[in-house]
Amino acid sequence: MSLGAPIARLEVEALEGYSAPLEGRRGLLRLDFNENTIGPTPLVFTTLRDTPADSYAIYPEYDGLREKLISSLGITNILQPSQIGVFNGVDAALHAICHAFGGPGEKMLTTSPTFGYYAPCARMQGMQLEAIPHTVPDLSFPFQIIYTSLATTRILLICNPNNPSGTRLRPEQVIELATASPSTLIVVDELYETFTGDSVLPFLMGQMNRNPPCNESCNLFSMVPNLLILRSLSKTAGLAGLRLGFAIGDSDLIDRIGRVTGPYDVNSFAVSAAFSALSDQYYLDAYVSEVLQARAWLIDALKLGNVCYHAKGGNYILIWPKSPVDQVCKYLRQNGILVRSMSNKPQINGSLRLSIGTVRQMQYFWLSYLQIENSIPKD
Ligand SMILES: Cc1ncc(COP(=O)(O)O)c(C=O)c1O
């Protein structure tokens, strides 16, 4: 008689695996995961191609990577390498944050709808998840409710701008939440901040500069040691397949999160690619500018077409088709375009999320979309 596989922890038994539809996407126009739609700077290809084979055999080295991020952020001398954690994507950072800080029965507070991986990370530690709905109809951030719930919250996760609603929070509002509850870990996921410029980092810098001249003992996080900022090279930099994410915060916070990660979780190719991607600011700026132009073009088209949409932040937009959303998504796929259906998601039910790529890609999407809408009979 087989005894079967051993039972996992209670929290794990109660969990469903996080499944994103990841297969069969190659060769299609991928407007479903907010990825960079043209790939990273060519410097990344050169670096990876020229990587000597013997370096495959040695464990990765991270020397200089944190410093490289600091210089690309333009805050040398103020941000310290010890204030940066390096992860196998922001997904791995989220996992480690909950592992290090979340205990059974403790509360993770976030908004709804938001990025889908926050919930499983909380639940696998036995945390209670409370997701406050964005305010309808403008999908704004439920600031007052979040503020008043902070006292009983272990981890607050703010996605700014929020994926998928684009909801934005001003940096000073994030800082207000962080200072209101020093015992709560405030995590601000800034994966898409290049498209809005709402990061808390320049705001903290500005606050420091208002104080007497800063020397090496200055700490960007002295007023908010409970604040953690997440950044990734997956989206704007186009390295989603290589996996590299950063957490930025007080050194003690970074140290604690680092205790629950493996010593070599980030691979050597991701590290080499990161050096190249962070060296080419011109490429990053040009990509952001192309996306913003493409978004403006699409918004004009949607207005002219009298299509309901919501576009507040990030390289994505919500569109409410006049025909059933799943049918539209299916036909788009048949035309070689992937988008993400938001059917049955509270507040944004009936919409699809479209990642913004280049102007030409948006023009291609729009032609296809119009053709599909016109071909589906309306009641
Ligand atoms: C808001 C948000 N956070 C985190 C992630 C995961 O980022 P990474 O690819 O760095 O793991 C995503 C990916 O879509 C996201 O949208």
Report, as an integer, the average pLDDT of 168-181: 97
Which residues does a 6 A CB cutoff place in the pocket of ligand 1? Answer: 33-34, 89-91, 115, 159, 163, 189, 191, 232, 234, 240, 245
The pTM of this model reads 0.95
- How many other β-carbons are positioned within 10 Å of the β-carbon of residue 52? 6
Q: How confident is the model at residue 3 (pLDDT cuts 50, 70, 90)?
A: confident
How many angstroms is it from 97 CA to the middle of ligand 1?
A: 14
**Which two three-digit tokens encode residue 184?**
């709560």
**Which two three-digit tokens encode residue 74?**
């333009």
The confidence score (pLDDT) of residue 222 equals: 93
Asked whether the predicted pLDDT for residue 76 surpasses 90, the reply is no
Please name the residues in contact with 36: beta carbons below 8 A apart, sequence gap of 6 or more. Answer: 235, 236, 237, 238, 240, 287
Query: Can you tell me the distance from the alpha carbon of 255 to that of 269, in angstroms, rounded to the nearest whole number?
Result: 24
Asked whether the predicted pLDDT for residue 84 surpasses 80, the reply is yes
* 8 A C-beta contact, residue 107 and residue 154: yes
The confidence score (pLDDT) of residue 77 equals: 81
Go through 284-297 and write b for each residue having 16 or more CB atoms within 10 A of its CB, e for each that does not.
beebeebbeebbeb
Model confidence pLDDT, tens digit, residues 286-316: 999 999 999 999 999 999 999 999 999 999 9
CA angle 164, 167, 171 (to 5 degrees): 130
How many angstroms is it from 209 CA to the middle of ligand 1?
A: 31
The confidence score (pLDDT) of residue 290 equals: 98
Q: How confident is the model at residue 207 (pLDDT cuts 50, 70, 90)?
A: confident
Residue 34: which of 331, 351, 313 has the closest Cα? 313
The confidence score (pLDDT) of residue 377 equals: 84
How many angstroms is it from 299 CA to the middle of ligand 1?
A: 25
Q: Is 158 exposed, middle or buried (CB count within 10 Å of its CB: 0-12, 13-18, 19+)?
A: buried
Give the residue, 352 or 16, on which the prediction is more confident.
352
Model confidence pLDDT, tens digit, residues 228-282: 999 999 999 999 999 999 999 999 999 999 999 999 999 999 999 999 999 999 9
**Which two three-digit tokens encode residue 22?**
């990841």
Q: Percent of the chain, pLDDT > 70?
A: 97
Identity of the amino acid at 30:
R
Q: How confident is the model at residue 127 (pLDDT cuts 50, 70, 90)?
A: very high
Domains of the chain: 10-39+282-375 (3.90.1150.10), 42-279 (3.40.640.10)
Q: How confident is the model at residue 16 (pLDDT cuts 50, 70, 90)?
A: confident
The confidence score (pLDDT) of residue 217 equals: 65
* 8 A C-beta contact, residue 96 and residue 261: yes
| pLDDT, averaged across the chain | 94
Q: Which ligand 1 atom sits closest to the C-alpha of 233?
A: 10
Q: Which ligand 1 atom sits closest to the C-alpha of 94?
A: 4
Question: Running DSSP on this structure, what letter comes out for residue 378?
Answer: P
The confidence score (pLDDT) of residue 212 equals: 61
Model confidence pLDDT, tens digit, residues 128-172: 999 999 998 999 999 999 999 999 999 999 999 999 999 999 999
Query: Can you tell me the distance from the alpha carbon of 97 to that of 118, in angstroms, rounded to the nearest whole number?
Result: 10
Q: Which ligand 1 atom sits closest to the C-alpha of 88?
A: 11
The confidence score (pLDDT) of residue 22 equals: 67
Query: Can you tell me the distance from the alpha carbon of 215 to that of 70, in angstroms, rounded to the nearest whole number?
Result: 16
The confidence score (pLDDT) of residue 57 equals: 95
